[in-house]
Amino acid sequence: MKSLIDFIAHDQRLHWILGIFGNFSFFVGSILFLSDEWATVGVWLFILGSGGMLVSSLGRFAAWRERQREELPPTITITS
Does 3 or 53 have the greater pLDDT score?
53
> What's the pLDDT score for residue 49?
92
> What's the pLDDT score for residue 70?
74
pTM (2 d.p.): 0.68
> What's the pLDDT score for residue 47?
94
Full DSSP string of 4-73: HHHHHHH-HHHHHHHHHHHHHHHHHHHHHTT-TTTHHHHHHHHHHHHHHHHHHHHHHHHHHHHHHHHHSP
Q: Mean pLDDT throughout 2-6?
A: 66
